[in-house]
Structures are given as C-alpha cells and as structure tokens.
Amino acid sequence: MAYKSTQLRSTAIVKRIVTIHYFEYMSDFSFPGESHDFWEFVCVDKGVIDVMAGEKRIPLKRGNIIFHKPGEFHNILTNGTIAPNLVVVSFECSSPFMKAFEGEVLSVQETEMALLAQIIIEARNAFSGRLDDPYQEELVRRQPALSFGAEQLIGNYLEELIIHLYRRYFSNPKQISTGRVTASPMHGDAHNRIIRYMEEHIGEHLTIETICRDNLTGRSQLQKIFHKAYGCGVIDFFTSMKIDAAKQLIRSNQLNFTEIADRLGYTSVHYFSRQFKQLTGMTPSEYATSIRSLSEKGMENQ
C-alpha cells in the first residue's frame, strides 16, 4: 500500500516564553503598570483583584483569566483586604485568532487549571530563580534542566490552554459557562432581569413557577429565552449557577461541604454531592484543589 503522511496543522503556536509567575501578593501590593510587545495573561487562583486593561478597570475573582494584548497598558490592583494568588504568564504568539481574546474575561475549568499547574511544574524544572519575583525580566535556564523536555512541554501546555479556551468561548458560544454571564443588550431586558434574580436567590430552591411569578414571565417564554441563549432549560441553567457558586466556595476553603450545601439551598449534602458530580464529573472532595496545590503535588511526584 502507498501510505502518505499528513502534515499536522498548527493554530496556536507559542515558540517563545517571556515570564512565568505564581504570585502570592500581600493585600496592599501595588505595581505601577506596564505595556510590552507580547501577550500576557493573568489568572486568579485565590482572592479578588482589579486589573487595568488600557483605560478600563476590570474586577476579577477566583477562576477568572484575562489576556492583555501586545501594546496594551495593564496593571494589577489589590483591594487592601484580600491577599490574592495569581498565575501570570507572558509569551509571544502571532496567531491571528488571538484577537478573539482581546478584552474578554474568561473562566478556567478543571482542564485549564491542570494545564496551568503543569506550566508551573515545568517552569520549575526548566528555569532557576523564583516564580514570585515581579521584577524578573529574563528566565534563566537550569543547567541541566531537572526534567527532560521541560521547555517543550511549557509550550505544549500553553498552546493547549489557548485552544481549550478558544473552543469553549469562541468556537461553541452556547457552551459558555455561567461564570461569564453578564447583562447584555444582545439577550434583552427579560434575560438580564432573570439572571440577576437567580444570582440574588442562588441559595434558594427555585422552581419554574416561582421564577415566572416573580419575573412576570410566561413559562413558554421563559424556556424560550434560555434555550435560545444557552441551549438548555432555565432550571438546568440555575443548577449550573449553583455548582459554579459551589466551586468558588470550595476553593475559598472557608466552609465544609455540609455548610456549602446548606448555603446553596440543598436539602442534604448527599444530594449536593451527587449533583456536583453529575455536572463536573468529580466529587466535591476531588474538586477541592487549586492550581497551586496541583502544581506542588506534581513536583512531589516527580
């Protein structure tokens, strides 16, 4: 047989990395801001921050990630109360589809969290120096590297991260997670009013009848709004909102699972755990981890 090879096409290509950081900032940390001719993203692993992106001040919470385009002035602002943990990576990428990330606040899920953890692991393997030095301007290679192929894996994981986020947010818009739901003229006043209502009642057991009554909306119209916007029913959407809220509470490490279930209006911790696993594929215990702990666990296992 006459076999023919196929050259693989690449869409996200990252050949040069500039910085890789994991910061544990003090609550009153200040940074004058900067701009440069390469991409940079900031992902919040703990706490809350505001970022300046050009002239816009944008709040970010745990699990949010924002990409700063080349040439954009950006800064990180803490609130003086909560000490945040951040993953900050800067890199060169000329792929035209990167334009889609400009000005967008996205949310990382389990797959992206694991990729970020792997980037940090391989950065420790490939480079010397500290990952928490905000003034480091050049990565210094370890001689030799602690693990074979560490630099290549950094590029691979970063490309995977970009591809996963692009697929979820820009290739399949109906699959956008509820972490990105905001008031939007595109969806209309009724949609925005109901979203705000569900956010305000996230700790309650809502039914379609209750939502219709309190928002003066017919049942068929209500379902039509959510099927058009998200491809699912309103109760399925509300359940997803609850699980997203549960993820945030788990990662804050302030409440146990019983207290989280109670705060979100579940009748029992067992029902909460079952629904959590149905939507995430993991139990709450399995989810109770962070990018930092994932990366530290990876280093211990090497």
pLDDT of residue 17: 96
The answer to whether 247 touches 285, Cβ cutoff 8 Å, is: no
Average pLDDT, the chain: 86
Residue 203 CB: number of other CB atoms within 10 A?
Answer: 12
Is the model's pLDDT at 174 over the cut of 90? no
Give the model confidence (pLDDT) of 136-147 as tens digits. Answer: 889 999 999 999
Is the model's pLDDT at 156 over the cut of 70? yes
The answer to whether 89 touches 158, Cβ cutoff 8 Å, is: yes
Rounded Cα distance between 113 and 258, Å, is 25
Give the model confidence (pLDDT) of 80-99 as tens digits. Answer: 788 888 999 999 999 999 99
Return phi, psi of residue 51, to 5°. -120, 145
Rounded Cα distance between 23 and 43, Å, is 10
The one-letter amino acid at 175: Q
CATH class of the structural domain 201-292? mainly alpha
pLDDT of residue 295: 62
pLDDT of residue 290: 59
Among candidate residues 42, 39, 102, the one with its CA nearest the CA of residue 77: 42
Rounded Cα distance between 73 and 56, Å, is 10
First-to-last alpha carbon distance for the chain, in angstroms, is: 43
- Residue 237 vs residues 90, 181, 234, 283: alpha-carbon distances, Å: 35, 11, 5, 20
Rounded Cα distance between 182 and 196, Å, is 9
Stretch 65-94: mean pLDDT, rounded? 92
- Band (158; pLDDT cuts 50, 70, 90): very high
CATH of domain 12-167: 2.60.120.280
* CA 65 to chain CA mean position, Å: 5
Same fold? 12-167, 201-292:
no
Domain boundaries, the chain: 12-167, 201-292
Stretch 180-204: mean pLDDT, rounded? 72
Is the model's pLDDT at 169 over the cut of 50? yes
Q: Which of 157-161, 178-182, 244-248 has the lowest mean pLDDT?
A: 178-182
Stretch 117-123: mean pLDDT, rounded? 94
Q: How many helices (H) and strands (E) does the chain have?
A: 10, 10
pLDDT of residue 4: 93
The answer to whether 45 touches 25, Cβ cutoff 8 Å, is: no
Give the model confidence (pLDDT) of 235-289 as tens digits. Answer: 999 999 999 888 878 876 778 999 999 999 999 999 999 999 898 877 888 777 6
Is the model's pLDDT at 111 over the cut of 90? no
Question: Three-class SS of residue 156?
Answer: helix
Say what the pTM is.
Answer: 0.62
Rounded Cα distance between 140 and 137, Å, is 10
pLDDT of residue 172: 55
